[in-house]
Chains A and B, each alone.
Chain A
Amino acid sequence: MQSRAMAMAALLELLTDQPVIICNGFPSREAYKIADRPTHFYMIGSMGSASAIGLGVALAKPKKQVVIFDGDGNVLMGMGTLATVGALKPKNFIHVVFDNEVYGSTGNQPTISNVVPLEKVAKAAGYVNVERVREREDLVYEFKDMLKKDGPSMLLVKVNEMVEDVGRVMLDPPDITKRFMQAIA
């Protein structure tokens, strides 16, 4: 199984100027290190809200494809949003869930995603395309496919617990807001 950072790097190579909302904890810090772009919105708190923020962007900017980089703990915390997305069916919504089955930013306490298949929950809630992948080549293939299709889509990527040696996001939150707003305007 690959690390989240490796999977994330593979996806970021396929993205250009799409808005990307990245959940709090290590995912934001890793994305910031791999490729910092003004179209990235790095979260530092409000766990569970990445998909709802992404939904707000997707509804307000229907011509832009919106990508969410989320985690299993985050999705479980904001699980109601799977239903809201499934009901509203924004076509421009791609929800990537890096599933390592632990709360990695607080010391690897287990989540329950080992027994709750989140992509099946998403499908039942009304997501149009859902896929679960492990290997890098499947990840790249499915993500490219989702970029071409109407959503909402969920790509669940099983990753290991490895964390990159990363610092914090060295941007002030109000500057992240301003920069992101200008970049997606």
Chain B
Amino acid sequence: MRREVPLAITAIVGFALIIVYFIPHPPFNHSRDFFEDLFFIIAAFAIWLGCLNLLKVNADKVYRQKKGWLFSVVVWFGFFLMVIVGFWEGRGFMNPGTTFYYLYDKLYYPLNATMFSILAFFVASASYRAFRARNKEATILLIAALFVMLGRVPFGYYLSSWLPEGWRLGNITDWIMDFPQTAAQRAIMIGIALGIVSSSLRVLLGLERTFASGE
């Protein structure tokens, strides 16, 4: 029961969706629509599960007075601040001018944007400390990076504007992106596609069952 039911659900749903790709007509397309509608609701519950689990983990930290428990209180505060305001505002909570929108603009936005922006400093530091032309492969990587970095900004134009059209940094960058870069990305893409196809098949045939057993 614990293992067989999930495996059966997976196989039924998965094969129904594969069949409908080849026969997109009733009744198969109705089954697809039905499963997809269920999927949306489960996906939303999965988001709630994540949120509730976050609260649970942080509540545990506060209860046991673990190191840094005060920050767990801050997590709870942030969560309930948004939830209370969001529920209070009702369906138009996203409208500019609402308190929810204000909190989004003045708290969520700066925190989120700054969190990612500090990566700029680490990229710069890594470029200086670790980006070395130690061997042939690393040299190719480094040269491509330099071309793209300069060729993708106006600065590159001024550096190479004395060269004939077609040989400027921007043109070379375009060529790198359009041909060798595309070729390598395509190889990666095809490789990943084959991997996904084979693992999907393993899941649907019940050969891969880790998701259906064990916590």
Genuine A/B complex: no
Q: Which residues of B contact A (CB under 8 A)?
A: none
Q: Which residues of A contact B (CB under 8 A)?
A: none
